[in-house]
Chain A
Amino acid sequence: MNDVPKTLNFRKRSAQAVQDGTLRQAMRTATDTFTEKRSQGVASLPIEAWRDQASEIKIGVLDDLHNYVDRFAASATRAGAVVHRAPDAASARDIVYNVLKDHGAKRIVKAKSMVTEEIHLNRHLEERGMKVVETDLGEYIVQIAEESPSHILAPAIHKNRQQIGRLFADKLGVEYSEDPEVLTGIAREVLRQEFLSADAGITGANFAVAGTGSIAMFTNEGNGRMVTTLPKLHIAVLTIEKIVPTLADLMTFIRLLPRSATGQPLSSYLSVITGTRRPGDATGAEALHIVLVDNGRSQIAAGEFRDILKCIRCSACMNVCPVYRTVGGHAYGSTYPGPMGIILTVLLEGMEHAHNLLDATTLCGACADVCPVRVPIPHLLRELRKLRVKEGFTPSLERMAMAGFGMAVQSPRLFGLGDRMVKAAWPVATFLGGKGVLDRLPKPAKNTAGRRKS
């Protein structure tokens, strides 16, 4: 994309974000609420055993990813779906566009899907004269505000009710209200018309079952059900790591995903869709196209960072992340924010583009405590930082300082000298640093009684 900056500037974006009091309050409330609900939702359940199971299932698939992709494609085809393979984002966009064009579809309703954000699908279709309407309430709000989601589960969480009320009044010509119930009612009316008049529905999928060719979708609002059953054409776009072997394996993920996300035992709706409408069926799309997007996954699966592909996008890691809750999703400047987002963005977009995101962690490890599929997030972050050094994307001053450290650390005399230099240079450094880092540190002690000789 030509309007994407060459290198994400997390420092600048996050410094701006923390100035926004409304945003910070919203993020704090949201992440605290989700985290608290998750804790309650997993209490007194064999959650640790489920996490082990889920992790094992995912690893099993990653070990033999291409075989599972083939098996899923064969099963889905047998059930009546047309399966497409997209090696990258551009081909995925083209496939979706061509399917829509072939069906003469102009009006499209969408259920929330992160991969379509990743491949920037909406803009591609809109530039070609199609009307694309997001139907998840949060996603709809973000869409009419011409923004991007700030949270993968609650896309409009950065906006307060007043902002949404004004947005609806401006864009929809309705009377201003800041009552969430009224605003939700307005969206229900507007979007109901969209559902009923749409030519096609586009969704993602939370999981895809190799054995049966089914896709599983979790929603709370019911929009996913409308999108998949009302229009004649349904296009499901999903990345290949979403595959699980069998329906029986899916059970573990049904137990984990909603609980990790919102603490619910299950989202209001879980639809398992297999192929197209059968003879005698009263509902269901007549045509189902499944676009299996690789976009870097095969490469990741073959390398040392493969564990990130276990991720099921529950958002638990961002909800507990102390950095995410402070800066919000937009500061990352990437499709996927938070701890898993940093890893995925670096791997998908490249080190040159995303290396600054690697600073957006204190390596506190809170994410690893909650990840339902046991992605070793802190470990992957540390390894990516090593890779960043290896590839030369750290500041030269830092590299020099570290090299100096490497020499001094082996020589107590040199290290002691450094130590004394710190002390001697402190007043000057504090003065030069101004309101920066140094005056946040205490003054060095005059003597080093603690490290006396025994």
Chain B
Amino acid sequence: MTENSIVEEFLKRCENVAAKTVRVHSAEELQSAVHERLFDNDRVYCPAMTEREKTLVIREELRVDDCFSANVTVEEVLAGIVETGSIVCSSEGGRSLQASVLPERHIAIVATDRIFATLDDFFSRYDEDPPNNITLITGPSRTADIELTLTIGVHGPKSLDIIVA
């Protein structure tokens, strides 16, 4: 598969599990994709740890310092997995796992070169000594516990936006 078709397939599979997706091709496009997804009264948590996170400009009045007080997290995640339409968060490098579960909205940036075709492709790097927490996120939080009615956003985010950059 070419890189392009891998990305296309990844986006399709993420959409299939009710994530919303967009692909951007430059830092400017990424910047505006993030902006379009934020609203005036949002409280935004962005870890500002990766290069992409650091270069993102988020309006100062929207920013909060921790995910506990945020209603939306913008972050670059560790990886994407085509097979399952998942994004991957991990505790490596001091990253917070709560940032992707506590707020009501999760905006995840996935680098094109971090998209793996299969579960095995991704996990094979962890044969020994995996980090404390690797979490695969496949669509927003959901339940069907009441009369099997699908309800999005139980404990975790009600929406998941995936931006492939």
Contacts and interface: CB of A to CB of B under 8 A. Distances in A.
The answer to whether A and B touch directly, with their CB atoms under 8 angstroms apart, is yes
Nearest to A164: B146
B101 interface: yes
A176 to B, nearest CB: 14
Interface in A44-75: none
Interface residues of B, number: 51
A339 B89 CA distance: 37
A274 B130 contact: yes
| For the complex of A and B, 8 pairs with smallest distance between CB atoms | A222-B156, A138-B145, A221-B154, A222-B155, A180-B146, A222-B141, A137-B145, A180-B149
Given A225-B101, A268-B140, A282-B97, 5 more contacts: A195-B155, A222-B141, A247-B130, A262-B144, A283-B96
Nearest to A288: B132
Contact of A192 (B132, B141, B155): B155
- A interface, size bucket: 35 or more
Contact of B84 (A137, A221, A265, A284): A265
B136 interface: yes
B133 A272 contact: yes
Interface of A: 26, 29-30, 33, 79, 135-138, 141, 154-157, 160-161, 164, 180-181, 183-184, 187-188, 191-192, 195-196, 211-212, 214, 220-223, 225-226, 228-230, 246-248, 250-251, 254-255, 262, 264-278, 280-284
Most buried by A among B13, B126, B148: B148
B79 to A, nearest CB: 13
A223 B156 CA distance: 7
A432 B105 CA distance: 68
Contacts of A33: 148
B138 A265 contact: yes
A269 B135 contact: yes
Contacts of B130: 212, 214, 247, 272, 274
A79 B143 CA distance: 32
Nearest to A273: B133
A254 B132 contact: no
Contact of A26 (B84, B127, B147): B147
B84 A161 contact: no
B134 A180 contact: no
Interface string B80-97: 000111100001011111
